[in-house]
Amino acid sequence: MRPPVILEPSTTYSSNSSSYSPSSDRRLNTIAKHFVNHVQMDSHNISPSPTASSDSVFAQIVRAPEDAILGVTVAYNKDTSPIKLNLGVGAYRTEEGKPLVLDVVRRVEHQLFTDGSRNKEYIPIVGLADFNKLSAKLIFGADSPAIQENRVTTVQGLSGTGSLRVGGEFLAKHYHERVIYLPQPTWGNHIKVFTLAGLTVKTYRYYAPATRGLDFQGLLEDLGAAPSGSVVLLHACAHNPTGVDPTLEQWEQIRQMIRSKSLLPFFDSAYQGFASGSLDADAQPIRLFVADGGELLAAQSYAKNMGLYGERVGALSIVCKSADVASRVESQLKLVIRPMYSSPPIHGASIVAAILKDRDLYNEWTIELKAMADRIINMRQQLFDALRARGTPGDWSHIIKQIGMFTFTGLNPEQVSFMTKEYHIYMTSDGRISMAGLSSRTVSHLADAIHAAVTQVA
């Protein structure tokens, strides 16, 4: 502690006049000296912390396991092989294997940077109003009755993950059923997000390993057996990790089942426009559910379709029965968000809002978005052709039937391990590969590795 300055008589003024007051000076100096001596005595008498010379109070904490997906990149980065290939990362890569910042994003960022009227003030708890309004229109359609009737409340979230967490905590506090059904398999983080939000997680059948396609009958049976009112998580498009999506006809049957059982759908839309190249086509399953007048939740992410991975920008929308209910729901969402992160970040949402509200920027974005989707579709075709050319045992048509960033190859953990050890190819142990991490230059290497794994490892 810094000792107080000892007041000198020559510099001290009386409180009642502008003349010097020696008696006042003496009193102040006596008080100051007493304070200094007291501080010095206290500093000598401070007893050491009970933990100062012993083990940390956190010594009992065990090291957590590496995240299954992020751990792939950690292992990849440690590999010094010049032929190493990372197919675990859930982010788009160019043909040259580099991260991509969209041209339209760079244009908007330049506009924002040169706008002298912008500031860094906090934004509202629910986020930027323009961003929320435009995000709802993007996913539900500008002509959506729910939007026109003000039955939708939208809040800005921390990408898709944060939006799911806010939705989960809202349901745990205010919905009468605390059970959520997830497809088996699903994105690994779903289980953690909803469990920590306070919901009980159960699963419904989704993927059929034998066909490497959709277990549609199993899906309907499990949803039909779910208790009335249960929450059901649905991947809006480009199911992660399988890349297997229902057809529109199957979606209609799913909708009928969910509504007949009074189940509550919660859509996770992480790939709108990134799957097929069409924003409207990829939103069709959600719009089917909105059109029947029922209620639902939808989490959006702009990580993939705008390449705003690190900006953490997304939205949670809840479609309600009336405008009054929507307003009350929003008031409670604020109470979930406020103690969680207070208010969302401004930069990424400003980029999204600028693109969505300007016709020219929007059109430029859709062109770049389709180019990303088309490249991934092309990589699927090239890999399928390469495996067929090698005569690799098995039917690999699922590679071109599946859609989106990921392909569930059907490779087992032993085969995956073999490919990592012998070919320096990294992917999750369940055989999921990111098609966005593949290029025309590396397709042959991957096809050779798959062929060897299938023919040499059971």
Side chain identity, residue 268? D
Q: What is the mean pLDDT of each successive set of 10 residues along the chain, which is 458 residues long?
A: 47 43 64 59 60 79 86 91 92 92 98 95 98 98 96 98 98 98 96 98 96 96 98 97 96 98 98 96 98 97 97 98 98 98 97 98 98 96 97 95 93 96 95 94 97 94
CA atoms in the 13 A half-sphere facing the CB of 389? 10
Angle between helices 103-114 and 347-357 (to 10 degrees): 110
Query: In whole angstroms, how far apart are CA 215 and each of 56, 206, 234, 242, 278?
Result: 51, 5, 14, 12, 26
Contact 1, 38 (CB under 8 A): no
Q: What is the pLDDT of residue 13?
A: 41
CATH 3.30.930.10 fits 69-100+374-456, yes or no: no
Work out the angle at residue 295's Cα, subtended by the Cα atoms of residues 291 and 299, and round it to the nearest 5 degrees: 95
Considering the entire predicted model, what is its pTM?
0.87
- Spell out the SS3 assignment of 232-283: EEEECCCCCCCCCCCCHHHHHHHHHHHHHCCCEEEEEECCCCCCCCCHHHHH
CATH number for the domain running over 122-357: 3.40.640.10
Contact 280, 249 (CB under 8 A): no
Q: What is the pLDDT of residue 69?
A: 78
Please identify which residue in the block is written with the tokens 């995956």.
Answer: 416
The radius of gyration of the chain from alpha carbons, rounded to an integer in Å, stands at 29
Q: What is the DSSP letter of 183?
A: E
By annotation, the residues acting in catalysis are 187, 268, 304
Q: Where are the domains of the chain?
A: 69-100+374-456, 122-357
DSSP per-residue letters across 160-180: HHHHHHHHHHHHHHH-S--EE
Q: In what order do the strands lie in the sheet with 152-157?
A: 152-157, 314-319, 296-301, 264-269, 231-235, 179-184, 200-205
Side chain identity, residue 339? P
Q: What is the pLDDT of residue 18?
A: 44
Contact 412, 453 (CB under 8 A): no
Q: What is the pLDDT of residue 90?
A: 84
Q: What is the pLDDT of residue 70?
A: 80
